[in-house]
């Protein structure tokens, strides 16, 4: 009787979906400015280059694999997958690129995603067309969309311009496919998602926490992200990314 019961339990466990007993959690981090705070804007939206380098070195030293959304399917096969994202396309994001270059080794290949506002490209404190082309060609940075003018998409009437035109403008600059959208302010709803699905494969919010595949409808258009801020210590960073 005991053997039959054990056999039944074994078959039951083997028949369950993997997500029931081992749900994978994927950290997606969000940065804005990688620079010394100069007194302009929100201090918490800055991370100093020194702290950013320490954070990326931590990922290198603890076996993380930095992915971009072109490699989304690799989350199932690589060791400790993580996504590093940057919103708004600030010129100082070149500091992050330089740090990626510095930390690159044969066994560690850092990569990140810059979400740029297409109509702001070339402004004084934003990345230029030449910057974006260089970054896209580097193999370290994926250039994706943060809309055309950074509106609250829930309130925006001209979603086609914000979504379709921004995608096309960025693709013309980089020569690379734009497949991911970061919603301004992290705001979205079912209507915005329905429109975003026409042009993108992924949509990113600012809802805190790691991503876990649950199977609910359109979950790849509600991807959560965790803020890394000026006040984030290395201990805080470790707690944010240590999800396994």
What does the pLDDT average to over 59-84? Answer: 97
197-230 pLDDT, tens digit each: 999 999 999 999 999 999 989 999 999 999 999 9
pTM listed for this prediction = 0.90
> Considering its fold, how many domains does the chain have in total?
1
What does the pLDDT average to over 88-116? Answer: 97
10-23 pLDDT, tens digit each: 444 444 444 333 58
What does the pLDDT average to over 90-105? Answer: 98
DSSP per-residue letters across 6-47: HHHHHHHHHHS-HHHH---EE-EEEE-EES---SSS-GGGEE
105-133 pLDDT, tens digit each: 999 999 999 999 999 999 999 999 999 99
DSSP state of 2: H
Contact 111, 103 (CB under 8 A): no
Query: What does the mean pLDDT of the chain come to?
Result: 92
- Residue 201 domain-assigned (yes or no): yes
Residue 22: predicted pLDDT: 55
Provide CB contacts within 8 A for 193, sequence distance 6+.
203, 218, 221, 222
Residue 10: predicted pLDDT: 44
Q: Which of 20-29, 61-70, 89-98, 114-123 has the lowest mean pLDDT?
A: 20-29
- Residue 3 domain-assigned (yes or no): no
DSSP per-residue letters across 141-187: EEEEE--SS---TTT-S-HHIIIIIHHHHHHHHHSS---EEEPGGG-
CATH of the domain at 101: 3.20.20.370
- Residue 32 domain-assigned (yes or no): yes
Residue 82: predicted pLDDT: 98
- Residue 76 domain-assigned (yes or no): yes
Residue 23: predicted pLDDT: 82
33-43 pLDDT, tens digit each: 999 999 989 99
Q: How many Cβ atoms are within 10 Å of 33's Cβ, its own excluded?
A: 26
pLDDT exceeds 70 at position 240:
yes
pLDDT exceeds 50 at position 196:
yes
DSSP per-residue letters across 56-106: HHHHHHTT-EEE-GGGGGGGGTSSSEEEEEEEE-BGGGHHHHHHHHHH--S
Q: In percent, how much of the chain has pLDDT > 90?
A: 88
Residue 125: predicted pLDDT: 95
Instruction: Provide the domain limits for residue 170.
Output: 27-241
- Residue 6 domain-assigned (yes or no): no
Q: In percent, how much of the chain has pLDDT > 70?
A: 91
156-170 pLDDT, tens digit each: 999 999 999 999 999
Residue 243: predicted pLDDT: 85
- Residue 17 domain-assigned (yes or no): no
């Amino acid at each position: 009787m005991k053997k039959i019961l054990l056999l039944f339990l074994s078959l039951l466990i083997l028949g369950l979906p993997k997500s029931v007993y081992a749900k994978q959690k994927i950290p997606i981090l969000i940065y804005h400015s990688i620079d010394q705070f100069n007194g302009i804007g929100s201090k918490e939206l800055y991370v100093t280059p020194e702290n950013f380098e320490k954070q990326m070195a931590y990922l290198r030293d603890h076996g993380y694999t930095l992915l971009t959304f072109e490699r989304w399917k690799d989350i199932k096969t690589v060791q400790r997958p993580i996504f590093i994202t940057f919103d708004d396309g600030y010129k100082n994001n070149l500091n992050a690129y330089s740090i990626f270059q510095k930390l690159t080794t044969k066994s560690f290949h850092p990569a990140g995603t810059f979400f740029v506002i297409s109509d702001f490209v070339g402004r004084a404190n934003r990345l230029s067309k030449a910057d974006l082309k260089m970054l896209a060609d580097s193999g370290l940075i994926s250039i994706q969309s943060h809309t055309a003018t950074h509106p609250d998409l829930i309130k925006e009437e001209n979603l086609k311009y914000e979504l379709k035109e921004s995608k096309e403008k960025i693709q013309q600059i980089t020569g690379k496919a734009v497949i991911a959208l970061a919603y301004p302010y992290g705001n979205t709803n079912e209507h915005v998602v329905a429109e975003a699905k026409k042009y993108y494969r992924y949509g990113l919010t600012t809802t805190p926490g790691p991503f876990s595949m649950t199977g609910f409808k359109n979950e790849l258009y509600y991807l959560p992200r965790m803020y890394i801020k000026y006040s984030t210590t290395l201990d805080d960073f470790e707690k944010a990314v240590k999800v396994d």
